[in-house]
Structure 1
């Protein structure tokens, strides 16, 4: 094994100012071990035995996420982990495993009182290392949480984009096929040789009917009755393709009285070509409208994604409406909301001005809180998600509530603890609410509280409108 010396310890930047006699005490009171590849240095949820210096080799620290072990950080020689003075960590948050032959030096935890009492400079150096570790771990965890938040959205987002994209492809193919039949249909229409006055009358009647139609949604029974009525009308007037035409005319809001109004302006031999021509135009307009609607849906989703991820802006604080981020989050989670039969109630205070914020960070907050609310209601197969905003003096208050089973009183005080989760294996990481609290309290100087009882849980986020 490599011998640990005072010069070796001083090569660790934080320990360089520490007096030699204190470093010698550290060497003399530490355990020196050599680990093989695959050996555990510590295990998740087990007590931390001491302060660990990696002398040679390499270790990796793994966390459990969604039932799968994933790497948090890789540590090399001259790095320090494990228990540190004044740390609140009592147990390991993950598994520390040697990935090659590794030598460590560990100062036992029971030596910590003596360290703090007699060796001020060494204690201060180790506390400095702890601060660096907390900062680095926080950055890594927060970035991982961002990736997990995007992961939660990816499946639903793919579904959201797939529906309008498939609609565009389907309708474009139908329209192409439909347009191929236009020359033949046009030839049949010319063959009946309608005079100009009748053509103008048919066009005027058609315009009048379409302009007078309301967007009334028919019940299945009403639709079936109207289709039967139009089917009988077409058969009575000896017009072929009556099934398809009856369905399309009903969908466009026509009834038998409308067909009579058009029929009065044509000769009996011209009726079939004229009504096929009308049907053809209605179908073309419908397919184009469907393509336009699907394209708008994709454009709206892309706008929501762009705003949600905030990828067109810098990371500085800027003024933005709170409700914009919440609306975009609801769009991103739209598939999950519909899949769980969730009703969304939104009440945004029009008097609430734009808030100075880190937009991307707050979007992460809304994602965690709304996603948790949906999960809480999913067991009963339906629920109501309520979102309210209001101006409270110099603060913006945002309330996100659900009517799920509530949070048990005995665990309510722990829900913001790192890695605490009430979800079953594979559904929770235990990082979401801790990250929510950190973003609100540390980055926005705000607060987040929870009130819960069976049938109603609400998270109350309060942030200053003019944050630092």
Structure 2
């Protein structure tokens, strides 16, 4: 390609309706340049000095940092980019190079002013192209932010749900195996000849153990009790005593209780009775384990529904700030515990409900708390949450003792697309979205940060008049 014509430019959709004389002006004031394979169109830190139109070939764009390179996009034929009218771009933050031989038309930045003053239709089409590009990029970045947040939450939920689900499956399998031996034990019971008084004694003892609020035993206490009970059972000629002693220790039977049962049931009936009692206790424990696991799963699902407000609308409604924070913490629990962090909750029990959009506010808590946990990195840190109120507003403080936010960028953290995280770890929209949600609630958000202490303070009106 040696030259460029008006017809070639006009074949590009962006310029279809631009008068020929304006396109000719653009051609006369720009240059046609050939880029060979791997030749750079721009790189991080290079000044944005021209508008460019890809006429043939394609370019690839990458985001670079010290640890990794991330592919961002392919810039193909007919793409119009670079410095466009009213664009505020000063320099590039990414790398763009040619794939094979490519041809670009370059219009110097210095000519943009003349274009704006003299060529309305040309300026209009380029401004339209820029606004469309910004809209599409913002939409994609917002979608990426949502996907990243969903990915973080899903990872924690998968772990949290897997634990009780695995426990349920394990307990169910053990319960099935355990119940398969019940007929044989029942057969031994049916051969017994005992009076009502003995039956009532055994039933009352079982019920008392099931209802007792037992304090946990230390490992040494358990070991000593197991030895004592095992010696007693073997002395009374109970077969397979080692198989039932664990259940008796679990419910903290002692020798005096077993001795009393022996006296009530008699030597002949003691062994089948204590085996039956242990069997009932094992069944009860397994059922309780399954119930605890199912309750845990139910609690997680409730937290998800509360966090997302999936069963309610998004209009202003009476909102419990503490409920939203607790639901968010439930979803982040795995991440907090995995890294050994601590929670310090100083929640005012009298905090009033406010008028708000609970689902959106939960997104605020998620964004800030997740960032705080990330700031703690691998060290065992502390996340502190403080709530308070006055006659008009509630105040929520979300504090971490992480590395802090450098003072020179604290006034930029709420800007769209600004991020301190590495490539692929942040879109720069989390805190931008957070601020917009707070603004929507007619509230305020501010940050103060020094190494070891970062405090996000949020003020929300109690009676929102929106």
Q: For this structure pair, what is the TM-score category when the shorter chain's length is used for normalisation?
A: 0.7 to 0.9
Corresponding residue of 2:456: 459
Query: Residues 344 and 49 (structure 1 numbering): CA distance in 2 closer, same or farther, change over 3 Å?
Result: same
Matched, 1:50 2:47: no
Shift of 1:345: 2.8
- Structure 2 distance, partners of 1:143, 1:295, is 33
Q: CA RMSD for the aligned pairs?
A: 3.6
Shift of 1:398: 2.9
The answer to whether the Cα contact below 8 Å between 1:14 and 1:128 also exists between their aligned partners in 2 is no
Shift of 1:44: 4.0
- Structure 1 distance, partners of 2:50, 2:335, is 45
- Structure 1 distance, partners of 2:82, 2:295, is 54
- Structure 1 distance, partners of 2:122, 2:89, is 19
Corresponding residue of 2:227: 228
Shift of 1:279: 0.5
Matched, 1:302 2:310: no
Query: Residues 297 and 101 (structure 1 numbering): CA distance in 2 closer, same or farther, change over 3 Å?
Result: farther
- Structure 1 distance, partners of 2:253, 2:275, is 14
The answer to whether the Cα contact below 8 Å between 2:15 and 2:122 also exists between their aligned partners in 1 is no
Secondary structure at 1:32 match in 2: strand
Query: Residues 3 and 14 (structure 1 numbering): CA distance in 2 closer, same or farther, change over 3 Å?
Result: closer
Corresponding residue of 2:140: 140
Corresponding residue of 2:445: 448
Query: Residues 347 and 92 (structure 1 numbering): CA distance in 2 closer, same or farther, change over 3 Å?
Result: same
Shift of 1:120: 5.9
Corresponding residue of 1:5: 6
The answer to whether the Cα contact below 8 Å between 1:31 and 1:107 also exists between their aligned partners in 2 is yes
- Structure 1 distance, partners of 2:39, 2:394, is 51
Query: Residues 438 and 201 (structure 1 numbering): CA distance in 2 closer, same or farther, change over 3 Å?
Result: closer
- Structure 1 distance, partners of 2:54, 2:361, is 38
- Structure 1 distance, partners of 2:234, 2:302, is 49
Corresponding residue of 1:370: 369
Corresponding residue of 1:388: 386
Q: Which runs of 5+ in 2 are unaligned?
A: none
Corresponding residue of 1:262: 261
Q: Deviations over 1:276-295 (max 9, x none)?
A: 11110110111111112112
The answer to whether the Cα contact below 8 Å between 2:367 and 2:431 also exists between their aligned partners in 1 is no
- Structure 1 distance, partners of 2:106, 2:231, is 91
- Structure 2 distance, partners of 1:6, 1:313, is 56
Q: Deviations over 1:71-113 (max 9, x none)?
A: 5555555543222344333233434455686543332223344
Task: Give matches, 1:428-443, under 5 Å.
Answer: 428-429=425-426, 431=428, 433-437=430-434, 439-440=436-437
Matched, 1:353 2:353: yes
Secondary structure at 1:107 match in 2: strand
- Structure 2 distance, partners of 1:150, 1:95, is 29
The answer to whether the Cα contact below 8 Å between 1:440 and 1:447 also exists between their aligned partners in 2 is no
Query: Residues 354 and 106 (structure 1 numbering): CA distance in 2 closer, same or farther, change over 3 Å?
Result: farther
Shift of 1:419: 5.5
Deviates more, 1:261-270 or 1:280-289: 261-270
Secondary structure at 1:207 match in 2: helix
Relative to the length of structure 2, the TM-score reads: 0.84
Q: Deviations over 1:135-191 (max 9, x none)?
A: 221111111011112222333322212211211111111111111101111111222
Relative to the length of structure 1, the TM-score reads: 0.83
Corresponding residue of 1:242: 241
